[in-house]
Structure 1
Amino acid sequence: MSKVALVTGASSGMGEITAVLLSQKGYKVYGAARRTDKMKSLEAKGVSVISLDLTKDESIVDCVNTILQKEGKIDILINNAGYGSYGAVEDVSIEEAKRQFEVNIFGLARLTQLILPSMRKQHFGRIVNISSIGGKIYTPYGAWYHATKHALEGWSDCLRIETKPFGIDVVIVEPGGIKTEWGSIAADNLKKTSGSGAYAAGANKTADNMMQMYTSGKNLSEPELLAKEIVKAATVAKPKTRYAKGYFAGPVLWMRKYFSDRMFDSIITKMA
């Protein structure tokens, strides 16, 4: 019997490619996202499409129940859905900050809670949480996004220890710079939020640099690179606890580990 995998954020980028690669490896794959109208190509490639809005509890419950009723289990959960909301801390509304956490942490956590009982029952499961190198570092105007990813790192570590006795592995994947729409969305949010006012000079400079990087794609890694790493994390017999891959992932994590906070502050500010 084929193993069943659920991939969130599967309407584009890494999530879409990951769903296809898992399906090609013989897994029964459910690709979940809000924008199901953009997932016709996934269906054509053998991936089952399911609606999921991580900000709505009823949507999360319906998604899990539908899969469990059809398949009786979920063996692999890939928590890939998420977005970046950029803006100066002073400018970002608490409502938007809460939505960032709702999508990147609380919705992800609720989904995981609902799936864990079936994994415990079969004494097997693999949960792959897509964090970011942003879960280990920080950048100007990304406080709320980085807060969610730092939280996800710690949350995943705790979950890994708690679920190990039940045969469940929890793995973190930390992408570097990837050619996706993430950067353009974050840059747009930054300009809308802090493009005028006290932080305008620095915010517009950072937003322009982000937009140039993500629209040109120069130096950024292809989504396929990360998708293959995610599939490895989801399927190898003995996974590492963390996988970091993508543009600048290695160097920036090395700098964060060995440089003082003030040194890193200076470097990351110049790069932004």
Structure 2
Amino acid sequence: MGYAATKLFAQHGWVVYAGARRVEKIPTGRDIHPLKLDVTDADSRQAYVEAALAGSHQIDVLLNNAGYGEFGPLEEVPLEKVEKQLNTNLVGASELTKLVLPTMRQQQSGRIINNSSIGGDIYSPLGSWYYVTKHSLNVWSDVLDTEIRQFGLRSLVIEPGGTESSWADIAMKNALNNLQPGSPYTKLVKETEQALSGFLNASSATSDDLAKVFYRAATDRHPKRRYFYAISDQLISGVARTFPGAYHKVMTVLTDHLTKSRD
């Protein structure tokens, strides 16, 4: 999604300072400035923002896009993996935002766009800490929005659903790696891997689709607090928020189905 967004914004005439741990993964092109960025490292964050300001002297949009899924049974995910998940998906976004807000306040304009997930409203087995970070990112963005609107700034959330990317593969690989020897959760992990793969294959947006949503959030004259790509994504998020008891019942039935012995 970051790759596609970089290309799209540049095609529309924006100067893009694209940050990634692997700079070679950043697209090349006019007005695209590839920079090394590890959102979990304070020095890297500082150098990234300083480079952008040195080049353009202004920041109109910060797109917080870094994230991954540290899946696994809640009982078995080690603390160091929990901290990595929190630092990547939540704290990194917060710390980057702190670095750009003084410039945006001085400009009296700017938007913080936070790429969250429908996982910010829903949940399912094995994704505990991932969902915690996305729920938290949504609330963090809303609180920030209330604080910075007085300066002409906004903080907005994108909530993608299934997306054609390596996210699910990485999340389930992490789930398998986080299983302890002889884990009682082995069947749940393996059955969830198959079920998740089937769901994503049936209901995926492309990275180009999501890049267009990012661009709308950056350019809408009257931006919304939440942006969704598909009506189905908005619907499932709304159901989970409005009927939490019913949603939880569905998740327990799903878990029972996944863990039930097959003949």
TM-score (norm 2): 0.91
CA distance in structure 1 between the partners assigned to 2:14 and 2:31 by the alignment? 10
* C-alpha contact (below 8 Å) 2:121/2:241 kept by paired residues: no
Write out per-residue CA displacement over residues 117-143 of structure 1, whole angstroms, 9 at most, x where no aligned residue.
Answer: 000011111110111110011111101
Tell me whether 1:28 sits opposite 2:15 in the alignment: yes
What does 1:239-254 align with in structure 2 at a 5 Å threshold? 239-246=223-230, 248-254=232-238
Tell me whether 1:223 sits opposite 2:207 in the alignment: yes
* C-alpha contact (below 8 Å) 1:187/1:211 kept by paired residues: no
Q: Which runs of 5+ in 1 are unaligned?
A: 1-13
Q: Percent identity?
A: 35
CA distance in structure 1 between the partners assigned to 2:235 and 2:79 by the alignment? 33
Inter-CA distance 150–88: structure 2 relative to 1 (3 Å threshold): same
2:194 maps to which residue? 208
CA distance in structure 1 between the partners assigned to 2:231 and 2:70 by the alignment? 21
User: How far 1:45 moved relative to its partner?
Assistant: 5.3
User: How far 1:267 moved relative to its partner?
Assistant: 2.1
Q: Which runs of 5+ in 2 are unaligned?
A: 259-263
CA distance in structure 1 between the partners assigned to 2:42 and 2:89 by the alignment? 14
CA distance in structure 2 between the partners assigned to 1:258 and 1:114 by the alignment? 35
* C-alpha contact (below 8 Å) 1:171/1:240 kept by paired residues: yes
What does 1:1-272 align with in structure 2 at a 5 Å threshold? 14-39=1-26, 42-44=27-29, 46-194=31-179, 196-214=182-200, 217-246=201-230, 248-261=232-245, 263-269=246-252, 270=254
Aligned residue-pair number: 254
Write out per-residue CA displacement over residues 200-258 of structure 1, whole angstroms, 9 at most, x where no aligned residue.
Answer: 111211123224555xx333111221110110001111101111224841331232134
CA distance in structure 1 between the partners assigned to 2:176 and 2:195 by the alignment? 12
TM-score (norm 1): 0.88
CA distance in structure 1 between the partners assigned to 2:198 and 2:176 by the alignment? 14
* C-alpha contact (below 8 Å) 1:54/1:60 kept by paired residues: yes
Cα RMSD between the aligned structures?
Answer: 1.7
* C-alpha contact (below 8 Å) 2:68/2:167 kept by paired residues: yes
CA distance in structure 1 between the partners assigned to 2:101 and 2:234 by the alignment? 32
* C-alpha contact (below 8 Å) 1:29/1:47 kept by paired residues: yes
Which 4+ residue blocks in structure 1 deviate beyond 6 angstroms?
A: none
User: How far 1:46 moved relative to its partner?
Assistant: 4.0
